[in-house]
Chains A and B, each alone.
Chain A
C-alpha cells in the first residue's frame, strides 16, 4: 500500500493516473490563485451561484448534441453550455443585487437554487427521452476523476495552468482591484473590465473543475485554499503563492487518495484534504491562527490585569481573588505585601504607564503605527532619547 501511494504521489504508477493526478493538482493551483482575489473582493460565494447555474446549460447542451445527432457526449459542447448558463446565473445575481432591494446573499441563494432546479427538470426530461450517454451527465454534479480520459486530464491541466498564469500576468492590476476598487477607478484603471476578467477566470476554473470535483463542490477549490492561506500571511504575493500551493497540494493528495482507496470520490476527497489544510492553518498558523491569537489576547489581558494589580498594591489598595493568587505565584507578593521583585515590577509598570501617558498627551501624532504602544514596555517601542525626554517632562518639577 505504501509503495503504491508513493508511486502515485511521485507520478510513477502508469501514465494515466500520473496525468490525472497532475491535472488535478494544476486545477487546485488555479483555484487557489484565482480564489485569492475572489476572497479579497468578497466574491467567494458568487462563484457558488455560478457553479450551480451551470447545470441547465449542461443539460441543454446535451439535448442540443442529441438533436444534432452527435453519438457520444461531447465534452467541449457540454462545457460551452455550462459557461453560457453559468454566466447567465452570474449576471442574474448582479442584476438582482444591483437593481432591486434584495441583498447579494438572497440573490445568490435564489439564483443557485432556481437554476439548479431548472437543471434538475431538464435532466428528468433527458431521462425520459432515453438518450444514450446520459449517465455521464450525473458526474458533473458530484465529480469523478475516474471518468476522466487522459486527453481530458491533460487539457484540464494545461487550461488550469493557463488560468494561474493569467493571474500572475495581471497580478498588479488585480491587486489594485482587490485592495481599493474606488481608488483604482479614480486612477483610471478599467475596474469594470478587471472585475469581468476576474469573474471570467472564476468561470473558467469552475467549468474545467466541473468534471473532477462536481458543480456542488467546485466552489471549494476557489474558497478554501485562499481562506487557509489567509492565516499565514498579510502580504498579497505571499498569500497568492500560499493559496496556490495549498490548492495544488489538495488536488494532488486528494486525487492520489482517491486513486488509492476504493469508494473515495475524488471531488469530495480533494475538498476534505483542503479542509484539513484549512483546519491546521486556522488553528496553528502563527500569524493569524486561533491558538496564536488566543495566546496573544490572553497575555494582553493578563499583563493589563497584572499591571493594574501591581500598581494597586503599590498604592496600598487591596488586591483580591485570582489576581492576588497570581501575584503570589509570580513571586511578586507574599503575606499580602509586595516582594522586592514585585515592587520592582510595580514601579516599572507605574513608570510605563506614566511615560505612555506623557507620550500620548504630548505627541499623539507620533504614535508608532505598528508597535503595540501602551501595551509593551515603552523602552522596547520608543527610541531612548524620546524616553529620556518623556522622563524629564513627566517628573514633577
Chain B
C-alpha cells in the first residue's frame, strides 16, 4: 500500500511514455502572491526532458517559491503544474526533492542513514517497516555521495557540506525521474561541491531531469545544460549558451540601465 493519499489510480511511468511525450515539468500561468504582492507572476515554463536545469535570479526573485509551488508546498493564486503530463499529486513517486539545508532541525535524533532511508518511505508505504533492502539502498546512496563512513553518525554532528550530501543521498534514494533541488551548492566545501556535481552528472547520464536553484553565476554554464532566468517572471529560458548572456543577465538582475521618467522615481 503506497502513500496514495488523494488520487489512487494508475500512472504512466516515463519509460513507457513515448520519446516525444509530455515534458518532465510544465508550468502554465503560475502566479504566487504573498498577501497581494506577486512573488511569481505569470510563469510559463516547460522543462526539456533529461538534463540539468539551473534556476537563476537575484535574491527575492521567487526561485525557491517556484520549486515549492511546483511541489504544492505553497498555495498558488493561479496556474497549473504538470509532471510528465499529469498533475503532481498523481506523480509523487516520480519526484525527488532536496530542500534548503536550513529547512530542518539538524539536532533531530536520527542518523544519516535514517535520513537517507526517509527517501524510500514513498516506496515502502503505510505500516510496513524499513526493511534491510531499503536500508541497503540508502547505504548505497550514501556511498555515491562519499558518506558511507558517516552512516551511523547523528546528523547534527556532520559538517554543513556533509549534511548537504546526506540530503542529496536521500534524493538519490528516492529514485525519482524529476528532481527539484534548492541551492544544493550553497555554502558547501570544495569536496562537497565535487560530490554534488558528480551526482548531478550521474543523474543526467541516467536520463533524469534535475531542476536546481543556483546562485553562483560563474558556474552555471559549467554545471548545467539549461537555465531559467527568473525575476518574479521568466526573463529567459533555454540552453545555457543562449541565455547566459550579459544582456539577459543584467535584465534578470537589475534591468537595463536606462533613464527612467522622473515621475516614477517620485511615486
Contacts and interface: CB of A to CB of B under 8 A. Distances in A.
Interface stretch (B4-12, B30-38, B160-168): B30-38
B260 A366 contact: yes
B78 interface: yes
Interface residues of B, number: 27
A353 B251 contact: no
A316 interface: no
Contacts of B19: none
B78 A363 contact: no
A304 B255 contact: no
Interface string A368-394: 100011110000001111100100000
Contacts of B36: 296, 300, 372, 375
- Secondary structure at the B interface, as helix, strand, loop or mixed, is mixed
B243 interface: no
Contact of B78 (A301, A364, A373, A384): A301
A350 interface: no
Interface string A334-363: 000000000000000000010011001111
B260 A360 contact: no
Nearest to A384: B263
A361 B255 contact: yes
Contacts of B265: 366
A360 to B, nearest CB: 6
A365 interface: yes
Nearest to A372: B36
A280 interface: no
Nearest to A361: B251
A383 B255 CA distance: 19
Interface in A113-163: none
A330 interface: no
Given A365-B254, A375-B33, A304 B233 contact: no
Interface string B105-141: 0010000000000000000000000000000000000
A172 interface: no
A362 B232 CA distance: 13
B77 A301 contact: yes
B264 A363 contact: yes
A366 B257 CA distance: 12
B221 interface: no
B261 to A, nearest CB: 5
A361 B235 contact: yes
B85 interface: no
Contacts of B41: 356, 360, 374
A393 to B, nearest CB: 10
B256 interface: yes
B102 to A, nearest CB: 16
A101 B235 CA distance: 44
Given A361-B235, A372-B36, A304 B264 contact: no
Nearest to B28: A308
A101 B107 contact: yes
B266 to A, nearest CB: 8
Contacts of B78: 301, 304-305, 308
Contact of B261 (A360, A368, A386): A386
B231 interface: yes
A383 B31 contact: no
A362 B256 contact: yes
A386 B264 contact: yes
Contacts of A362: 255-256, 258
B42 interface: yes
Contacts of B255: 361-366
Given A357-B233, A373-B38, A385-B263, A304 B31 contact: yes
Contact of B38 (A374, A384, A385): A374
A293 to B, nearest CB: 8
B263 A386 contact: yes
Nearest to B58: A364
B9 to A, nearest CB: 21
Given A365-B255, A375-B36, A382 B77 contact: no
A360 B77 contact: no
B59 interface: no
Nearest to A101: B107
B267 interface: yes
A382 B255 CA distance: 17
B29 interface: yes
A368 B263 CA distance: 12
A382 B265 CA distance: 11
Interface in B220-265: 231-233, 235, 251, 254-256, 258, 260-261, 263-265
A356 to B, nearest CB: 8
A308 B29 contact: yes
Contact of B232 (A360, A363, A368, A386): A360
- The 4 tightest CB contacts between A and B, nearest first, are A304-B78, A383-B263, A372-B36, A364-B255
19 contacts: A296-B35, A300-B77, A301-B77, A308-B78, A353-B42, A357-B42, A357-B233, A361-B235, A362-B256, A362-B258, A363-B264, A364-B255, A366-B265, A368-B267, A372-B37, A373-B37, A374-B42, A383-B261, A386-B261
Given A365-B255, A366-B260, 4 more contacts: A305-B78, A364-B251, A383-B261, A386-B264
Interface of B: 29, 31, 33, 35-38, 41-42, 77-78, 107, 231-233, 235, 251, 254-256, 258, 260-261, 263-265, 267
